Structure 1
Amino acid sequence: MPYEWIDTANQSGDRPAEIELHCWPYRSLPRRDMVLFIGATAVLISLPLIVVLGSPILWGLLPFFLIALGAVWYALERSYRDGEILEELHLTPDEIRIDRHNPRGPDQHWDANPHWVQIALDHKDGPVENYVTLRGAGREVELGAFLMPDERAALYSELKQRLDAVRT
């Protein structure tokens, strides 16, 4: 799953001093495979150019070939930059804090007392299916909106267990 829990034990070792959650979007095309995809695209697009090799028509078609290849590369790079979102949740007995690092734009922060935070899972009412929200300190924030619906449901149950453990 595109999230991980990190439990930091306190001095007595009986329960975690701080629990961290790191969430990030799923990458269906790793960077290494992107290079292979760009190479395969270049080969497939250039196959029709073999027919006009050695003629002046090649020079008329070559700019369009390069523009198409550049557009594919730009779109994939833009997708990677947009997917550099990282959400960090820090949970201690005294505070719950969410830091969202956006690829473009300022970072977003939210904190509250974990004893007063309400966690909700909206199955159909939210903008996405299984919409996970935390409400506290006068605000409502979403968590893991970029995750798949089943991943958000699993995240909700895991977060609820950890939040209940911190509250006791």
Structure 2
Amino acid sequence: MSEADPAEPVLFATRLRPHRSLTPRQFRFLLLGIAAISFASTLPFVIMGAWPVAGFMGLDVLAVYVAFRASFRSARAYEDVRVTFLQLTLAKVSAKGARAEWRFNPSWVRLERQEHAEFGTQRLDLVARANRVEVAGFLGPDAKERFSDDLGRALAEARRGYRYEH
């Protein structure tokens, strides 16, 4: 995001990132464990002369590796949300680095929540006139609800306007 006026106070600023359950180090241990189990279960087949089984078991390990690498690559995506008295800025950066940015007047933007009775907050949209942009799409329902509450408070404060103190 571009640098803001240092005199304009920031009411809310956050960077949202997709959650990943494993760190890269934990992933290495998991992959080593899967490979060891695969090797141990393949060894009897190789001893009996059914050596092609080893290749298929190796494909399973390769599939797990490829799936987790894709997951870690997609985790590079993020969203920056920033609210000041004059502007709400949303910047979405894809895993490949493509950036899209939206700017809204906080007085005219609405934060719409789609709720499900059993599963909680399913979708959050910033809506201003004909513009509708989903925000925090990769967060879980609980995290979306907390984010929605925090952003809602910041937007309410921005609508009240700057308070001058003497």
**Does the alignment pair 1:79 with 2:71?**
yes
Is this contact kept in 2: 1:123–1:131, CA < 8 A? yes
Greater length-normalized contact order (CA 8 Å, ≥ 6 residues apart): 2
| Aligned equivalent of 2:164 | none
Cα deviation per residue 1:27-68 (whole Å; 9 max; x = unaligned)? 11111110011000001111123325567543x333223322
Give secondary structure in 1 for the equivalent of 2:126: strand
Is 1:69 matched with 2:66? no
Aligned-residue offset at 1:104: 4.0
User: What code does the residue aligned with 1:121 have?
Assistant: R
Number of residue equivalences: 155
TM superposition shift of 1:97: 1.1
Correspondence 1:43 to 2:36: yes
TM-score w.r.t. the length of structure 1 is 0.79
Deviations 1:116-159 (A, max 9, x none): 1111222139xx84421111253111111111112111111111
2:133 is equivalent to residue 141 of structure 1:
yes
The aligned residue for residue 95 of structure 1 is: 87
SS at match of 1:116: coil
Q: Which moved more, 1:32-41 or 1:65-74?
A: 65-74
Single out whichever of 46-55 and 132-141 deviates more from structure 2. Answer: 46-55
Structure 2, unaligned runs of 5 or more: 162-166
Written as runs of structure 1 = structure 2, the 5 A alignment for 1:128-167 is: 129-136=121-128, 138-167=130-159
CA contact (8 A) 1:113 1:137 kept: no
Cα deviation for residue 108 of structure 1 reads 2.0
Runs of 5+ consecutive residues of structure 1 not aligned to the other structure: 1-7
3-state secondary structure, aligned to 1:123: strand
Contact persistence 1:90–1:97 (CA under 8 A): yes
1:114 CA displacement: 1.2
Specify the alignment match of 1:124 in structure 2: 116
Which TM-score applies when normalising by structure 2? 0.79
Trace 1:9-28 onto structure 2 (pairs within 5 A): 16-17=9-10, 19-28=12-21
| Aligned-residue identity in percent | 20
Q: 1:113 to 1:30 in 2, by over 3 A?
A: same
Question: Aligned-pair RMSD on alpha carbons?
Answer: 2.7
Instruction: Read off the aligned partner of 1:135 and give its amino acid letter.
Output: V
